[in-house]
Structure 1
């Protein structure tokens, strides 16, 4: 076909047949819904993700947390500053290194985590409602393989940065 010819419509694949498009649709919808669900808690999904990582290993230094999340240390400082101003984390001198601060969750953070986890469960249930338990497990397993193959860090959103 010459460059002046218009391709036939049937020669152009429909977007709804492309896995990348479908995953993108669901990802956008999921992100928008989770952002809206967290808004009454006064936190963004990215800040919530930092709290989740801290909850799994409280007392990390800012540098350790930045490394785990793949962030520049300056971005991590800004996020921790914001979370501290909101009363969700506190910096304490690290017991093994007086030059470093260990980051700890406050009782308010635990309440936000509990509420946010409940909201995430509700959102996931709504999104996966058409699937049975076996299909859900297969979907999660497949997505986990694809995320790993793409080189992403487990449990870290690639869009995580200090602006959100």
Structure 2
């Protein structure tokens, strides 16, 4: 039993690793990394979010996200604005919006290649199964 579970865990990790490598390669062509594009995507979904919220959304520590956000500010892709109290809000700049959109195109192409061996039905099933696993932990 545990051998099958370990094999399943390894297969999920291999698929994720392959997907991340392909995304990193594709995004490098537009001058971004996967972590940067993921941060821009999170900010687009939650304009004005705090570093704590964005760190959680991008699976990073607050410290790691703060370092990343500093680089995004230096690149002119985001800006930080004062919010209520001590809160600092994060917003995309027009340049960041352009990088985000270019990243969406890259991701669509890369992910289409990653999942081409699966039929539409297989992809729907895989998504449903993964969402069920994620919901179990929520």
Q: TM range, normalised to the smaller chain? A: 0.7 to 0.9
Who is 2:132 aligned against?
Answer: 145
Deviation of the 1:67 alpha carbon: 4.4
- The change in CA–CA distance for 1:62 and 1:23 in structure 2 (over 3 A counts) is closer
Over aligned residues, Cα RMSD in angstroms?
A: 2.4
Who is 2:105 aligned against?
Answer: 118
Deviation of the 1:147 alpha carbon: 3.5
Who is 1:160 aligned against?
Answer: none
Larger mean CA deviation between 70-79 and 116-125 belongs to 70-79
Confirm or deny that 1:52 pairs with 2:52. no
Normalised to the residue count of structure 1, the TM-score between the two structures is 0.71
CA distance in 2, matches of 1:83, 1:91: 10
- Runs of 4+ in structure 1 over 4 Å off: 67-70
Normalised to the residue count of structure 2, the TM-score between the two structures is 0.83
Structure 2 stretches of 5 or more lacking a match?
A: none
Larger mean CA deviation between 70-79 and 120-129 belongs to 70-79
Paired positions, count: 135
- Compare the two structures and name the one with the higher helix fraction: 2
Matches within 5 A, 1:1-164: 18-69=7-58, 71-94=60-83, 96-97=84-85, 99-149=86-136, 151=137
Secondary structure of 2:27's match? helix
